[in-house]
């Protein structure tokens, strides 16, 4: 019986290790291409992703996006001094089911910040194309901040689901290119999630969580417009 138990445990461990790779990102595709059909998505059918266009209706433009070539305005009415331009399945329908996406982030010099946020569905690897960034993420187990400065040409990894940030340091504007192992990684900014939620998170809940008074919480809430 003990030997059988050992075999079963070992078999379960093998199956779990195999399943881990499958659970690490988006589901594998089941066909050559599945270009997102945005029109069908407006109807009653909902799937984990987008319905597929018929292949006869697919064009090269379904796989193209030129939006990462142009620098974003990080100055006009932008309190963070940064702007993210995504290249995911919502802008490139051909990415549907392929499990990858990209983004360009522009930062103003001397402190332009992509504020603390997380990607619930993807690990992110970031390449600093211009300028210098201070980056960091916080571990879930011990709330330890892992941080360093990344110069031009450097690469840094943010593990899936962990809160992280980037900030430009230096007199030059910074540009970073991010890659994700998801067609739609999702972005949840910590401050907006807590202070700009709809319906609103109760003020007394936030006051207790941040160990402050309700007036401070209400003042912070007033700076975030619910989506």
Question: By percentage, how much of the chain surpasses pLDDT 90?
Answer: 74
Structure letter (DSSP) for residue 103:
E
Identify the pLDDT of residue 28: 66
If you average pLDDT over residues 181-187, what whole number do you get? 94
If you average pLDDT over residues 114-137, what whole number do you get? 97
Identify the pLDDT of residue 41: 55
Give residue 29's pLDDT band: very low, low, confident or very high (50, 70, 90): low
Identify the pLDDT of residue 60: 98
If you average pLDDT over residues 170-198, what whole number do you get? 96
163-200 b/e (C-beta count within 10 Å ≥ 16 → b) = bbbbbbbbeebbbbbbbbbbbbbebebeebebbbeeeb
**Residue 11 pLDDT > 70:** no
**Residue 45 pLDDT > 60:** no
Give residue 226's pLDDT band: very low, low, confident or very high (50, 70, 90): confident
């Amino acid at each position: 019986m003990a030997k059988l138990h050992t075999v079963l445990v070992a078999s379960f461990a093998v199956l779990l290790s195999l399943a881990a790779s499958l659970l690490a990102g988006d589901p594998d595709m089941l066909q050559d291409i599945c270009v997102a059909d945005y029109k069908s998505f407006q109807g009653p059918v909902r799937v984990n992703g987008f319905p597929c266009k018929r292949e006869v209706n697919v064009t090269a433009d379904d796989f193209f996006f030129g939006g990462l070539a142009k620098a974003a305005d990080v100055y006009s009415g932008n309190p963070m001094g940064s702007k993210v331009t995504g290249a995911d399945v919502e802008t490139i329908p051909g990415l549907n089911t392929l499990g990858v996406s990209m983004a360009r982030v522009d930062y103003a010099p001397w402190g332009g910040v992509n504020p603390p946020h997380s990607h619930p569905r993807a690990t992110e690897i970031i390449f600093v194309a211009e300028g210098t960034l201070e980056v960091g993420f916080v571990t879930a187990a011990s709330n330890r901040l892992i941080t360093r400065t990344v110069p031009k040409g450097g690469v840094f990894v943010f593990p899936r689901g962990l809160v992280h940030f980037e900030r430009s340091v230096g007199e030059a504007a910074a540009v970073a290119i991010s890659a994700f192992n998801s067609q739609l990684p999702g972005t949840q900014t910590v401050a907006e999630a807590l202070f700009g939620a709809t319906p609103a998170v109760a003020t007394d809940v936030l006051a207790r969580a941040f160990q402050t008074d309700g007036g401070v919480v209400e003042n912070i809430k007033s700076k975030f417009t619910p989506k």
